[in-house]
């Protein structure tokens, strides 16, 4: 495992030297530093999130880093499933990256985040946070919510259940396709 880690670090350093963009170099160096400081590294991992014995989510990642004595899990190329209290699938989620803090019981997803409910509603945002204890997704970032019948809404900030049945929006920028009921 240490040889693989050393090769990853060397490859990241070579890529960093070849990059012309300073921000791109910083990202590669910080990823190499995270690899170097990880307690464990896993490839093709599965993480299960539970609360009081209830399965809330199952998260799959291409690469997973366990940090801070395994209390923080950093994941890349993320796909997951949210479950309701009866154990049925509520929605799926995909993201470029995710970070799970087991102490705070929050999963934060970053980069091209897409939540798709079982009945076809799709929420897209650059970032969202899943509260395991409250079984709720939320964000203060921009988002677009599209329904199967073509209605859509864009805004900034939301709170919702993972199945996107009850969505509270902080600011609506625009909507298309019909009336949307807003509560103060």
Q: Could you tell me the residue ranges of all domains in the chain?
A: 2-37, 42-176
89-101 per-residue burial string, b: 16 or more CB within 10 A, e: under 16: ebbebbbebbbbe
Residue 174's Cβ-count burial label (10 Å; 0-12, 13-18, 19+) is exposed
Q: Walk along the chain (184 residues) in steps of 10 and give the mean pLDDT of each run.
A: 40 41 42 64 89 89 87 92 89 95 91 94 95 90 92 92 91 73 52
What is the fold, at CATH topology level, of the domain defined by 42-176?
A: lipopolysaccharide transport protein A fold (2.60.450)
Q: What is the pTM of this model?
A: 0.75
- The predicted structure's pLDDT at residue 178: 65
Q: How far, in Å, CA of 5 to CA of 36, rounded?
A: 7
Query: What pLDDT was estimated at residue 8?
Result: 42
Cα-only R_g, the chain: 18
| pLDDT score recorded for residue 33 | 54
Query: Tokens in use for 19?
Result: 């990059």
Give 117: exposed, middle or buried? Use CB within 10 Å, 0-12, 13-18, 19+: buried
């Amino acid at each position: 495992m240490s040889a693989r880690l050393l090769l990853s670090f060397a490859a990241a350093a070579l890529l960093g030297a070849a990059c012309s963009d300073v921000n791109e170099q910083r990202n590669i160096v910080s990823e190499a530093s995270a690899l170097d400081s990880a307690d464990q590294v896993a490839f093709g991992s599965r993480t299960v999130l539970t609360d009081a014995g209830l399965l809330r989510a199952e998260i799959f990642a291409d690469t997973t880093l366990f940090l801070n004595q395994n209390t923080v899990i950093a994941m890349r190329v993320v796909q997951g499933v949210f479950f309701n209290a009866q154990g049925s699938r509520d929605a799926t989620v995909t993201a470029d990256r995710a970070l799970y803090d087991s102490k705070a019981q929050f999963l934060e997803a970053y980069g091209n985040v897409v939540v798709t409910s079982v009945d076809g509603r799709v929420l897209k945002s650059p970032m969202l946070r899943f509260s395991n204890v409250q079984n709720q997704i939320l964000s203060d970032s921009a988002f677009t919510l599209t329904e199967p019948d073509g209605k859509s809404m864009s805004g900034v900030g939301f709170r919702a259940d993972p199945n996107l049945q009850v969505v509270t929006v902080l600011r609506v920028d625009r909507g298309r396709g019909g009336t949307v009921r807003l509560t103060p």
